[in-house]
Amino acid sequence: MRIDAVDFFYASMPDVTLEADGSQDALLVRVSAGGYVGWGECEASPLVSVAAFITPRSHGVCQPVEASVLGEELDGPDDIRRIASLVERNSMDLLQAAHTFSGIEIALWDLLGRAREQPVWQLLGYERAYSKTPYASILFGDTPADTYAHGVAAVARGFNAFKFGWGPFGTGTVAADADHLQAAREAIGSDRHLLVDAGQIFGADVDAAAERLGALEAASVMWLEEPFRASEFDAYAALAARATTVRLAGGEGAHEEAMARNLLKYGHVGFLQIDTGRIGGIAPAKRVADLAAQAGITFVNHTFTSHLALSASLQPFAGLADHRICEYPAEPKQLAVDITSNHLLPDADGEIHVPDAPGLGVEVDLDALAPYLRSIDISVDGETLYSSPQSGRVLLG
């Protein structure tokens, strides 16, 4: 099969607010090859990621992503890895390329699975897919009472694990954070998992983060996520050494496999959270999952958007029985719900199942998406380089 076309679909809510809620917009990618179609999703900043696909080249290793994709042969998983290597080389100096290619790579796996009538997790070498325990991501409230209320509402929805994050955490006093943590624990009861996401609030300030360890451990928090900026490995390691029961989590910012490896090796995290929509897609995420298993730490997906992104992010660790917990977009914007016509819903035990269906096993609903679609037009010297969504990038000749 030859990759004939790559089309982007930029969708957003009518109003995109300053909330830390990544489900307010989406960039979907549709790849066509050999009469088949596959879908993927890029995480973050649709316009910039489209620009990275079609930008005029700057030099030999700063080419647009399309130069390494359109017209390439796609006959098996090795071709996906080969195309990824082309992008890595030809777009070496184009920072955004990793985010752009992530969505394309996911679509290539989906397409290949549909052509072979196999789920992606089988193409990755897994013999079966294990269920996962979803955790609900919740923002801390403005007050401990709000945090408590958020927690109680989430428990009522049947989840068994909860992650509170962002909001005021880390911005005020240690005592205020302790109150929020205690409220969260009280809301969910003593038997359910409690996770905390600090949203990089401490920068690289180990002492500021360490001051919260007592309250975190008193509330039996399983992981503290992203206390620091993504590449502050020294800070991660120093904090990990000062913790007793709580373990550190991170990795969502990894835009290449090596970043995730380095966070594990040098930052001593106990949970590696990988977004397939950023790290370059499913294949590098699978290699990170293999590494996590080998190192005895836990692989977790990072997903805050659609169930297309959710299925893509579950494939890399679908066959790892011991890596059970998974991020599940608990309160996404309606856009993220409407992107697909089917959804990965919790079963009676509250467990999530990776689809046992060709490709990613979720269907993009273009009709439902129509009201959300936004058009992009980019031209250089008056020549149109990109116009969406009606005309994508089609291989000519």
- The residue among 122 and 137 lying less far from its own copies, judged by its C-beta, is 137
Q: Cβ closer to its own copies: 61 or 153?
A: 61
Which two tokens mark 236?
Answer: 């991660």
Q: How far apart are CA 163 and CA 225, in angstroms?
A: 9
Whole-number minimum distance, CB 93 to its own copies, in Å? 4
Closer Cβ to its own copies, 30 or 278, answer by number = 278
CB of 157 to its own copies, least distance (A): 23
Which CB sits closer to its own copies, 174 or 237? Answer: 237
Which of 385, 296, 373, 366 is closest to 14 using CA atoms? 373
In whole angstroms, what is the distance from residue 118 CA to residue 141 CA? 43
62 vs 149, beta carbon nearer its own copies: 62
Taking the alpha carbons at both ends of the chain, their separation in whole angstroms is 16
Considering the complex, what minimum distance in angstroms separates the CB of residue 5 from its own copies?
A: 21
What minimum distance in Å lies between the beta carbon of 160 and its own copies? 27
CA distance 282 to 272: 15
**Region for residue 271 given its phi and psi (left: phi exceeds 0; alpha: psi -120 to 50; beta: otherwise):** beta
Collapsing DSSP states into helix, strand and coil, what is residue 12? strand
By C-beta, is 280 or 358 nearer to its own copies?
280
Tell the smallest beta-carbon distance from residue 377 to its own copies (Å): 5
In whole angstroms, what is the distance from residue 99 CA to residue 321 CA? 29
Closest separation between CB of residue 233 and its own copies, Å? 6
Residue with tokens 């196999």: 118
| Minimum distance, C-beta of residue 35 to its own copies, in the bound complex (Å) | 32
Rg (CA), the chain: 21
The nearest distance, CB 49 to its own copies, in angstroms, is 9
Q: Which CB, 121 or 233, lies closer to its own copies?
A: 233
How far apart CA 122 and CA 214 sit, in angstroms, is 43
Write out the residues near its own copies by the rule CB under 8 A.
Answer: 10, 12, 16-22, 24-25, 43-48, 51-52, 55-63, 88-89, 92-96, 98-99, 199-200, 204, 229, 231-234, 253, 255-256, 258-259, 261-262, 265-266, 278, 374-382, 385
Identify the CA nearest to 316 among candidates 121, 129, 128, 40: 121
Instruction: For its own copies, give the closer residue by CB, 57 or 157.
Output: 57
Q: At what angle are helices 97-116 and 46-54 packed, to 10 degrees?
A: 80
Is 174 exposed, middle or buried (CB count within 10 Å of its CB: 0-12, 13-18, 19+)? middle
Minimum distance, C-beta of residue 74 to its own copies, in the bound complex (Å): 22
Query: Which among 187, 185, 182, 213 is positioned nearest to 198, based on CA atoms?
Result: 213
Pairing of strands 36-42, 25-33: antiparallel
Pairing of strands 193-197, 161-165: parallel
Nearer residue to its own copies within complex by CB, 122 or 305: 305
